[in-house]
Structure 1
Amino acid sequence: MIDFYFAATPNGLKVKLFLEEAQLPYRLIPVRLSKGEQFKPEFLAISPNNKIPAIVDHAPADGSEPVKLFESGAIMLYLAEKIGRFIPQDIHGRAEVLQWLFWQMAGLGPMAGQIGHFNVYASEKVPYAIERYTHETARLYGVLDRRLADRPFIAGEFSIADIACYPWVVPHEAHGQRLADFPHLQQWFEAMAARPATLRTYEGVENVYAPKQALSDEERTLLFKQGAKTRA
């Protein structure tokens, strides 16, 4: 059994999508970020960066003590290697998947996350930031669009690269992007959206980029104004 610490952000949904694709048994443990639950000592013992997602694998492949992991990319790589799926065993195929996984972690996620923040959560409009991150996210969408021009999935066959990228394309409207401008990406996106595991992953999930009401000062502080001294 895997304990899965979750909030419905793109990074949380990446790991949920993996677990659903792999059909691994897991216990979903919600972490209410706006309530500061990511700063609880018991959660920090698993995720010292006070971010979701995080897991505790109570049945590691070598039969040892439970494995604690934070960082969505590390979690997916660990689980893919554990079950022997969604990452090729040959050196060239593995390299293809890894570079696109790291591309998502270092590029698509951070840039799309920034424009999502400035479009949806910022207390005031910052035109330079909006222009900067909208254009950079569009550039990254273009990279992915060209990559998908001659293949059905990012690394050729379905892999953790696709699982990692999809949740960051779901909120494309909040990121100021039109999928119609990226036809190969759009075709891939529609195929990913139709997968049974994707439907299970997103069933009943709230869109965090469409908040129903403005954040309170306390919630804004918990989410966006933490400094070097995190809460105990």
Structure 2
Amino acid sequence: MKLFGNSNSGHSYKVALFLQLSAIDYEYVHISLATDRAHRSDEFRHFAKFDEVPVLIHGDIVLSQSNAILLYLAQKLRRFEPMSEFGENEVRQWLFWEANRIGFSLSNLRHIRRLNLNQKDLEAYYERRTKDDLDRLNLEFSQNDKAFLISELPTIADIACCGYLFWAEQAKIDVDQWPAVYAWLTRIRTLPGWTEPSILMAERKP
């Protein structure tokens, strides 16, 4: 397997985390997002359907979009799958929710605050959405006595929804204020193989 990603991309981190937790060997190729799309490597541009990271290559299979990649990996490797048809539907709901909520709200809030962009209206909008997302996750774990989103075992729903939350400090969000979410992230951190983003997504020398 080969993964094209970026050290600041939570979407890339989600895929890398799945592979890390699954103890899967893969080649990681760092793509600089500061480089204009037209000047990124020919190999990346050949495979990247949307000119974005992450991109996963597995044999003849080439996939973009992090949650589509997670679905493929779970089904192909039989890892982090739900145990029932109901669970499969729940996983899909959380994947689509994450793409529209955390993967949008927190990622943009982090971008604005990490780069000190002067966009106060947008910053307030993304902060409000991010806090609403954390409220929703906190409610999920407060109402349901489950270790993870679907059951007592983690699935790709957890991997998708947790990705950007490990960068919450860079968005000036204190996850401690949502104790059930903080406890869930702590459980994820204790999974064998878990690695923090700054280490897992660091550019690797050939």
**After TM superposition, is the score higher than 0.5?**
yes
Confirm or deny that 1:151 pairs with 2:159. no
Cα deviation digits, residues 208-229 of structure 1 (max 9, x gap): xxxxxxxxxxxxxxxxxxxxxx
Residue in structure 2 matched with residue 52 of structure 1 by the alignment = 53
Residue in structure 1 matched with residue 12 of structure 2 by the alignment = 12
- Counterpart Cα distance in 2 of 1:106 and 1:146: 18
TM-score, with length taken from structure 2: 0.87
> Greater shift after overlay, 132-141 or 32-41?
32-41
1:138 counterpart letter in structure 2? K
1:94 to 85, 88, 96: 88
C-alpha contact 1:12 1:72 (8 A) present in aligned 2:
yes
Confirm or deny that 1:27 pairs with 2:20. no
Residue in structure 1 matched with residue 2 of structure 2 by the alignment = 3
Q: Quote the offset at 1:188 in angstroms.
A: 0.7
Q: Quote the offset at 1:137 in angstroms.
A: 0.2
Q: How does 1:60-71 map to 2 (within 5 A)?
A: 66-71=60-65
- 1:174 is paired with a residue whose SS is helix
| Greater radius of gyration (CA) | 1
C-alpha contact 2:13 2:201 (8 A) present in aligned 1:
no
- Counterpart Cα distance in 2 of 1:70 and 1:86: 19
Q: Quote the offset at 1:146 in angstroms.
A: 1.0
- Counterpart Cα distance in 1 of 2:22 and 2:201: 19
**Root-mean-square deviation (CA), in Å?**
1.9
2:6 counterpart letter in structure 1? A
Residue in structure 1 matched with residue 109 of structure 2 by the alignment = 115
Q: How does 1:179-198 map to 2 (within 5 A)?
A: 179-198=175-194
1:171 to 167, 186, 193: 167
Q: Quote the offset at 1:169 in angstroms.
A: 0.5
2:129 to 107, 132, 136: 136
- 1:196 is paired with a residue whose SS is coil
Residue in structure 1 matched with residue 156 of structure 2 by the alignment = 160
1:152 counterpart letter in structure 2? A
2:45 counterpart letter in structure 1? L
- Counterpart Cα distance in 2 of 1:92 and 1:18: 22
- Counterpart Cα distance in 2 of 1:77 and 1:98: 9
The sequence identity of aligned pairs, in percent, is 24
Gaps of 5+ in 2: none
- 1:203 is paired with a residue whose SS is helix
Query: When the two structures are aligned, how many residues end up with a matched partner?
Result: 197
Q: Quote the offset at 1:40 in angstroms.
A: 3.4
Higher relative contact order (CA 8 A, sep 6+): 2
Cα deviation digits, residues 170-219 of structure 1 (max 9, x gap): 1112223222210100101112123232127653655xxxxxxxxxxxxx
- Counterpart Cα distance in 1 of 2:30 and 2:173: 29
Q: Quote the offset at 1:148 in angstroms.
A: 1.5
Q: Quote the offset at 1:160 in angstroms.
A: 0.3
- Counterpart Cα distance in 2 of 1:204 and 1:22: 14
- Counterpart Cα distance in 2 of 1:183 and 1:115: 21
